[in-house]
Structure 1
Amino acid sequence: MSDSPAARLQVLFEGHRLTPTQRRIAHCMVRRAADVPFLSSVELAELAGVSQPSVTRFAVALGFDGYPALRKHLRDVVPAEAAAGDSLNEYQQAVEAEIANLRHLAEALADPGPVERAGRLLAASRPLPVLGLRAAASQAYGFSYFAAKVHPDVRLLDEGGTMLTDRIDAAVRAGATALLCFALPRHPREVVDALAHARETGLTVVTVADSPFAPVATYSHILLPAAVGTGLAFDTACAPMLLGRVLLEAMCDGLPDAQARLEEFDAGAVARGLFVE
C-alpha cells in the first residue's frame, strides 16, 4: 500500500457507507490530502462546499468522536518523510506528486481484474461511446483516437448541451452495450446527468475518475480511480491518462482482430506517406 497521504485517506474511508454529502467531503479530502490534517472543520466545509455540522457528522460516521479526533488521527498517520519535500520548489513538488500518483496507480493495478473486465465490456460494445467534457475532454479524445484504430465504431462525446442525451440514445439504438467516461475535476453536472441517463438506457458505465469518491461513482458500474495532481494552478492528469492507455490495452486483448487492424493501418500510412520518419 502506498504511503502517500491520499492513499492512506482512501484506506480510512473504505468499508464505510457514506451519504452523498459525506462522499463529497471524502472526495475533497483525497484531493487536498496533504493539507487536510491542518485544516479546521470550517475550512474543510468551505473547501467541500458543505456545512460545518456535515463535517462533524462525517467524522462520527468514520468512527471518531468528532472532527478534532479525526484531524489528530490524520496528523498521526501522515508519513514523516512527507516533510522532506519542503526543500523542493513548487514545480519539483508538482512533479514529485505526479510520480506518487503513478506509483499508487501501479499498486492498484496489482489486481488487474477490474481493468480486464472493463476492457472486455468496451471491446464488446458496438458502437462504443466515449464521454469526456471540459477538463476530461482531452482524455476522452486521446482514448478515442487510438481506440478507433482497433475498434470498428468509436463515438467521441466531448461536447455537452442538449444533443448529448440524443447522441447517447443514438448509440444505444445502434447497439451500444457499454459507455466509457473520463471524469476529472471540476466535475460538470452534465456528466453526472449523462451517466444517470446512460444507466437508465441499460448501458454498462465504465468510468476513469480522479477518486473513488468522485460524484460520478454512484452512476458507474466499474470505477477505475487515478488521482490528479493539484500542486499547480491547474490540475495535472498524468495518472488518468496512463490508466486510459492501460484500459485501451485491455480492450485490445478483447478484440481478436486488433493486431490485424493495426497492421492494416500501418500499411496504409506507409503507402500514403502519412508520417515523417
Structure 2
Amino acid sequence: MGSASARLLKLFEGHRLTPTQRRIAHCMVRRAGDAPFLSSVELAELAGVSQPSVTRFAVALGFDGYPALRRHLRESEPPAEAESAAEGEGSTGLSEYQQAVHAEIENLRHLAALLEDPAPVERAGALLAASRPLPVLGLRAAAAQATGFAYFAAKVHPDVRLLTEGGSMLLDRIDGCVRAGARTLLCFALPRHPRETVEALESAREAGLSIVTVADSAFAPVAHTEDLLLPAAVGTGLAFDTACAPMLLGRVLLEAMCDGLPDAQARLEEFDARAGERGLFAE
C-alpha cells in the first residue's frame, strides 16, 4: 500500500495476538513512522504494557526478539521514508499545522488503497441497509462521526437510532433496538477508546447483532474476530486527534448503504421537495 502503517498491518496479518499484543500492534500502527526507531522500553511505555510483553509480542510475530523485529522494520522501510524519519519532520520547513495536513493526506491515501477491494464496504452497506432499525453507536470522540452518519442516513433509511451517550441507559437502548428488529449495529470507535464502547459491543454481540465497526486500526481495543471492522487511521500530530479518514469512510458506507435501499433516491427527492416548499435552505 506504500505507507508505513500499511506495511505494519501486513506484518501483523495472520497472527493470533493476545489483547496485550493487539495493544502493542495498535500503538505501532498509530506511531508507524517512529516504530522502527523505538526501543522496547519506549514502545512499552507508549503502549502502556511491560517491556517483557514487547519481547513476547516480537516472538509471537516470528522474530527472535524485539531487536530482530526492529531491524526488520528498518530494513523493509523505503530509503526515502527512512531518511525522513531519521532527520525528523521539523527539517522539512513545514509548520506543525502543515505537517498535520500532510499526515491526514497520507491517511486518506492509505484509505484509498484499502478501498481497492470494495467487497468489505459493499458487504457492510448491505448489512446496514437490511437492519430495521439501524443503531449507530459512537461515544466521546467518536460521537461526532456517529452523529454525522446518522444525520445523512436518516434521509434514506427508514429507522436510524443514534447512540452517543454512555451510562446505564446505553445497554437498555441497544436491547430496545434488538426488540424492535435490529440485525446490525454500526459503531464508530476512535481513540481514546471508552471502556463503555467495548462493553456495549460485547452486549450487542450477545444479543445477536452483527457489528460493523469503523475504527482507527484493525488492532484497536474494539476489534473482534466476529465483526466486520473497517480501519481508517486518525492523525496524531496535533493536541487532539484528527479524523478525516474515518469521516470519509463513513460517507463511503452511506453510499454503499444507499445501493442496498431501492427507494433511497426517491426519499432524497422527496426531502428536497419538502425542503424547497419550506424554504429550509438559504441558497
Same fold (TM over 0.5): yes
Task: Determine if contact 1:195/1:219 at 8 Å carries over to the other structure.
Answer: no
Whether 1:100 and 2:109 are equivalent positions in the alignment is: no
Instruction: Give the C-alpha shift of residue 219 in structure 1.
Output: 6.5
Whether 1:164 and 2:166 are equivalent positions in the alignment is: no
- Show CA shifts across 1:37-76 (max 9, x none): 1211111111111111000000011111111111111122
TM-score computed with the length of structure 2 as normaliser: 0.95
Partner of 2:33: 34
Whether 1:60 and 2:59 are equivalent positions in the alignment is: yes
Range with greater deviation from structure 2 (138-147 or 64-73): 64-73
Matches of residues 119-138 of structure 1 in structure 2 within 5 Å? 119-138=125-144
Partner of 2:7: 8
Partner of 2:238: 232
Give the fraction of aligned pairs with identical amino acids, expressed as a percent: 80
Partner of 1:183: 189
- Show CA shifts across 1:126-149 (max 9, x none): 000000000100000000000000
Whether 1:144 and 2:143 are equivalent positions in the alignment is: no
Whether 1:154 and 2:144 are equivalent positions in the alignment is: no
Task: Determine if contact 1:127/1:174 at 8 Å carries over to the other structure.
Answer: yes
Partner of 1:76: 75
Q: Secondary structure at the match of 2:204?
A: helix
Gaps of at least 5 residues in structure 2 are none
> How many residue pairs were aligned?
276
Q: Secondary structure at the match of 1:227?
A: coil
Give the 4+ runs in structure 1 shifted more than 4 A: none
Q: Are the structure 2 counterparts of residues 247 and 175 from structure 1 closer, same or farther at C-alpha, using a change threshold of 3 Å? A: same
- Show CA shifts across 1:55-109 (max 9, x none): 0000011111111111111122233223455312222111111111111111111
Gaps of at least 5 residues in structure 1 are none
> Which of 209, 213, 220 does residue 219 from structure 2 map onto?
213
